[in-house]
C-alpha cells in the first residue's frame, strides 16, 4: 500500500500526525469551535387529511454566543415551531425560548437555561472578507453531530430570495457544503 502523498511529504516536518499546515489549522479551529455548536430540534404542528394535529420535527444547527445560553441560528430553523429543544455538544438537552428574530435577515436568537457556564463563540465582522478566503462550516446535517466542511468565499454582496419570497440582501456566498440540518 502506498502512503498518502501529504503524509509522505510532511514526514519529519514536526506537523502533527503527518497533517499539512492547512489540515492542522482545520483541526485546531474545529476543536476550538465545535463545543459551542448546538443541535436544534423544532416541533411544528401539521394537519393530516382528516384535520388531525400531527407533530413534526425539524432540525438545524446554531452556536452559543455567550456563556449564559444565548444561541444564534437561522430563523427558518425555528419558523412556525411550537417548541424547540437544544442539544449541546456534551449531549445535554434543554428547552429553548425564542428571544429575538429577524425573518428578513433569516436570523433568530434562542435562550436556554443551563445553570452552568457554556462554551461560546465571539461574533466577528464580515467587513474585511474577500472572495477566495477559506471558510469552515461546523454543524449537524442529516441528524449527524459535529461535522466540518470547508470551502472558500465565492462571492460577496449577493441578493437571494428565501423560501417565503423574502429578499436576503448582501449575503456572503460560499462553496462549503451546506446540507439539510447545517442551517444555523
Catalytic residues: 76, 106, 183
Contacts of 69 (CB under 8 A, 6+ apart): 94, 111, 112, 113, 114, 118
What are the CA-CA distances from residue 80 to residues 12, 43, 45, 55, 57 (Å)?
55, 8, 8, 12, 11
Contacts of residues 111-117 at CB distance under 8 Å and 24 or more positions apart, as own/partner, are 111/68, 111/69, 111/70, 111/71, 112/69, 112/71, 112/86, 113/69, 114/69, 114/88, 117/67
Please answer whether residues 44 and 80 qualify as being in contact, where contact means their C-beta atoms are separated by less than 8 angstroms.
Answer: yes
C-alpha cell at 145: 453531530
Please answer whether residues 181 and 37 qualify as being in contact, where contact means their C-beta atoms are separated by less than 8 angstroms.
Answer: no
How many Å separate Cα 120 from the centre of its chain? 13
Please answer whether residues 60 and 37 qualify as being in contact, where contact means their C-beta atoms are separated by less than 8 angstroms.
Answer: no
Amino acid at each position: 500500500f502506498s502512503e498518502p502523498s501529504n503524509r509522505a511529504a510532511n514526514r519529519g516536518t514536526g506537523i502533527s500526525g503527518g497533517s499539512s499546515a492547512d489540515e492542522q489549522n482545520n483541526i485546531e479551529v474545529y476543536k476550538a469551535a465545535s463545543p459551542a455548536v448546538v443541535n436544534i430540534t423544532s416541533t411544528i404542528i401539521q394537519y393530516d387529511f382528516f384535520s388531525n394535529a400531527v407533530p413534526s420535527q425539524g432540525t438545524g444547527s446554531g452556536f452559543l454566543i455567550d456563556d449564559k445560553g444565548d444561541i444564534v441560528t437561522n430563523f427558518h430553523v425555528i419558523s412556525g415551531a411550537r417548541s424547540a429543544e437544544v442539544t449541546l455538544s456534551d449531549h445535554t438537552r434543554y428547552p429553548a425560548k425564542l428571544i429575538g428574530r429577524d425573518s428578513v435577515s433569516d436570523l433568530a436568537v434562542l435562550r436556554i437555561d443551563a445553570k452552568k457556564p457554556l462554551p461560546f463563540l465571539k461574533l466577528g465582522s464580515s467587513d474585511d472578507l474577500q472572495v477566495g478566503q477559506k471558510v469552515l462550516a461546523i454543524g449537524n446535517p442529516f441528524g449527524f453531530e459535529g461535522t466540518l466542511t470547508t470551502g472558500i468565499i465565492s462571492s460577496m454582496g449577493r441578493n437571494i430570495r428565501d423560501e417565503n419570497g423574502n429578499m436576503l440582501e448582501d449575503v456572503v456566498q460560499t462553496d462549503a457544503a451546506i446540507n439539510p440540518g447545517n442551517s444555523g
